[in-house]
């Protein structure tokens, strides 16, 4: 078994900074560790994932956006930051969720409905903890200029860096904490095409369709299998799971949580998605944000999941290994 303790991860982070700084390049590349690691060294035993931004709510503010707090064996990482500047801050207060010790933030992609709360959260919590919201984990491509459309991340980068915030750019899968993995940008094997296609990326070779190349997910290794959190699912949920299988481990996928961008999917596509999810062993779904209501129930029926095992995500929902999904009262 390949040992891969957290201390080693951190020292590699540190080492990569020194090397990159020495080359006069201020871009921070995250360490790439996955290809050799096929036997994983750590199962997260204590896991809780709490939705802090999505549309449906009976507790707090609902919005077009997504954010979830991931707590894994005492470590915390905020997955995305919601859309409007104050949503996550206010929902955390309302739900008595303490974010003051969150120092790591994972961003699935550049869109404002996932990055809009970042500045506010950093401002609010750095007064309590100077390191709060100071390490931001992003996929390569998040700072690429878009044609005729705002890239919020380009705007925020300089401002946040001046405030002491560091960005870690991932080009492939890596372990953030023991048992908590970042997929890095996801290879598009299947034609899921979960993006509009009308926006363009500005590249040296000219403008090309913006397929949101930076889109990445978070994966938690547990004794029940992987728990995957997805932001907007632009890479496609099946492409995401294929990527996990190819780059992290072939372990089954126990649960998927977050936005899967199936709101426009045809029934034919949903049927294919359901059969693939079954192949991966998916037993629990919390379909929040852009998953789509019809899509969620279609998947539930196609996969023969029980009422408690496939729910529409709402603000304050949680998931844990012992109890599974704890949905809001409207989604029960």
Binding residues for Zn ion (CB under 5 A): 111, 113, 232
**Residue 111 or 254 having the CB closest to Zn ion:** 111
**Do residues 116 and 151 make contact, with C-beta atoms less than 8 angstroms apart?**
no
**Do residues 29 and 14 make contact, with C-beta atoms less than 8 angstroms apart?**
no
**Residue 113 or 251 having the CB closest to Zn ion:** 113
User: At 68, is the secondary structure helix, strand, or coil?
Assistant: strand
**Residue 111 or 243 having the CB closest to Zn ion:** 111
**Residue 52 or 232 having the CB closest to Zn ion:** 232
**Neighbour-count burial for 247-283, b at 16+ CB within 10 Å, e otherwise:** bbbebebbbbbbbbbbbebeeebbebbbebbeebebb
- From the CB of 111, what's the least distance to Zn ion, in Å? 3
Give the integer Cα–Cα distance in Å for 52 and 118.
13
- From the CB of 329, what's the least distance to Zn ion, in Å? 24
Q: Sign of dihedral through CA atoms 300, 52, 156, 133?
A: negative
User: At 288, is the secondary structure helix, strand, or coil?
Assistant: coil
> Partners of 311 in the beta sheet?
286
- From the CB of 295, what's the least distance to Zn ion, in Å? 14
**Residue 178 or 258 having the CB closest to Zn ion:** 258
Give the integer Cα–Cα distance in Å for 179 and 133.
21
**Residue 232 or 321 having the CB closest to Zn ion:** 232
**Residue 55 or 227 having the CB closest to Zn ion:** 55
**Apex CA 127: angle with CA 122 and CA 131, to 5°?**
60
User: For residue 72, which phi and psi values (nearest 5 degrees)?
Assistant: -130, 110
Give the integer Cα–Cα distance in Å for 79 and 242.
21
- From the CB of 195, what's the least distance to Zn ion, in Å? 8
Pairing of strands 324-326, 318-320: antiparallel
- From the CB of 290, what's the least distance to Zn ion, in Å? 5
Give the integer Cα–Cα distance in Å for 154 and 177.
27
- From the CB of 104, what's the least distance to Zn ion, in Å? 21
- From the CB of 141, what's the least distance to Zn ion, in Å? 13
**Residue 111 or 224 having the CB closest to Zn ion:** 111
- From the CB of 189, what's the least distance to Zn ion, in Å? 20
């Amino acid at each position: 078994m390949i040992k891969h303790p957290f201390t080693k991860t951190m020292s590699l982070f540190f080492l990569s900074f020194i090397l990159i700084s020495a080359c006069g390049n201020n871009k921070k590349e995250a360490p790439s560790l996955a290809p050799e690691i096929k036997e994983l060294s750590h199962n997260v035993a204590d896991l809780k994932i709490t939705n802090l931004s999505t549309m449906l709510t009976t507790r707090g503010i609902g919005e077009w956006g997504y954010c979830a707090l991931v707590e894994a064996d005492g470590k915390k990482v905020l997955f995305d930051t919601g859309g409007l500047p104050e949503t996550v801050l206010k929902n955390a207060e309302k739900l008595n969720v303490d974010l003051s010790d969150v120092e790591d933030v994972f961003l699935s992609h550049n869109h404002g409905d996932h990055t809009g709360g970042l500045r506010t959260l950093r401002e609010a919590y750095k007064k309590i903890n100077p390191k709060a919201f100071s390490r931001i984990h992003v996929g390569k491509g998040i700072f690429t200029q878009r044609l005729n459309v705002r890239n919020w991340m380009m705007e925020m980068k300089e401002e946040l860096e001046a405030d002491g915030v560091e960005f870690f750019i991932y080009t492939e899968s890596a372990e953030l904490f023991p048992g908590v993995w970042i997929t890095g940008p996801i290879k598009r094997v299947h034609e899921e095409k979960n993006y509009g296609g009308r926006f363009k990326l500005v590249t040296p070779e000219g403008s090309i369709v913006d397929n949101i190349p930076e889109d990445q997910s978070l994966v938690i290794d547990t004794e029940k299998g992987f728990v995957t959190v997805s932001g907007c699912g632009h890479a496609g949920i099946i492409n995401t799971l294929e990527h996990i299988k190819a780059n992290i481990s072939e372990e089954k996928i126990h649960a998927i949580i977050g936005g899967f961008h199936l709101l426009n999917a045809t029934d034919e596509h949903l049927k294919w998605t359901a059969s693939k999810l079954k192949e991966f062993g998916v037993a629990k779904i919390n379909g929040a944000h852009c998953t789509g209501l019809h899509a969620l129930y279609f998947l539930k029926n196609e996969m023969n999941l029980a009422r408690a095992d496939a729910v529409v995500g709402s603000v304050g929902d949680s998931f844990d290994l012992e109890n599974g999904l704890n949905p809001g009262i409207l989604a029960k």
